[in-house]
A and B are shown apart, each in its own frame.
Chain A
Amino acid sequence: KNQVEQSPQSLIILEGKNCTLQCNYTVSPFSNLRWYKQDTGRGPVSLTIMTFSENTKSNGRYTATLDADTKQSSLHITASQLSDSASYICVVSALTGANNLFFGTGTRLTVIP
């Protein structure tokens, strides 16, 4: 069964600190993995996308890693800002099927001053 699991479910950190969010998946055949940021009351916005051959991708203070062998990904946020408070959703695409996106339940990050 194709599944995406994220941890932790929620996280609170102080402004300026770093944090790492985890994503494990069982989606097969694997196409790509995306991290989305979803601010409260808004739709998800894509942060990074990685294919099978990529093991790291950065977007500003966001760095995503992918280990396709162990089917794990992480999203590292450095020097957190209050505006980073949001839900971060891991989304894995399968190679086949029209409905080929599998969503994690997200990690709710709260950055406090």
Chain B
Amino acid sequence: GAGVSQSPRYKVAKRGQDVALRCDPISGHVSLFWYQQALGQGPEFLTYFQNEAQLDKSGLPSDRFFAERPEGSVSTLKIQRTQQEDSAVYLCASSFSSPDTQYFGPGTRLTVL
């Protein structure tokens, strides 16, 4: 079946713009995770949903970052007033339940100029 998909694959934003990144998890997967991956680094946890409930948002770096999953499937990560340090690949992963293997999407590469 289809894997995790993310869009757009690439996004270039001017500093101060708002961006919205979309994640379509594998159908039926309850858990959804967002990660930020800087160049040459491993993914860093941002936030976690179980169905539509955001159970952990401790990794969000500032209040400019906001994530939602209103119907328990598609999720959107929104970054307001983007800064250059927000430039990174944003990965989405889903799993059937929290402890299970996470399946990653291809990521969205965000470049803030």
Contacts and interface: CB of A to CB of B under 8 A. Distances in A.
Interface of A: 4, 31, 34, 36, 41-46, 49, 89, 93, 98-101, 103-106, 108
Given A98-B55, A105-B40, A43 B4 contact: yes
B77 interface: no
B42 to A, nearest CB: 4
A42 B45 contact: no
Contact of A103 (B44, B55, B101, B105): B44
25 contacts: A4-B42, A31-B99, A34-B101, A36-B104, A41-B106, A41-B109, A43-B4, A43-B93, A43-B107, A44-B43, A46-B101, A46-B102, A46-B103, A98-B48, A98-B50, A99-B45, A99-B48, A99-B59, A101-B33, A103-B42, A103-B43, A103-B44, A105-B42, A106-B41, A108-B40
B104 A101 contact: no
A101 B102 CA distance: 10
A59 to B, nearest CB: 13
Nearest to A104: B42
Sorted from nearest, which 4 A-B pairs have the closest CB atoms?
Answer: A43-B104, A103-B42, A98-B56, A105-B42
A43 B3 CA distance: 11
Given A89-B42, A100-B99, A101-B102, 13 more contacts: A41-B106, A43-B105, A43-B107, A45-B104, A93-B99, A98-B55, A99-B45, A99-B58, A99-B59, A100-B98, A101-B33, A105-B42, A106-B41
A42 B106 contact: yes
B110 interface: no
Nearest to A108: B40
B102 to A, nearest CB: 7
B67 interface: no
B26 interface: no
B43 A99 contact: no
A49 B98 contact: no
Contacts of B109: 41
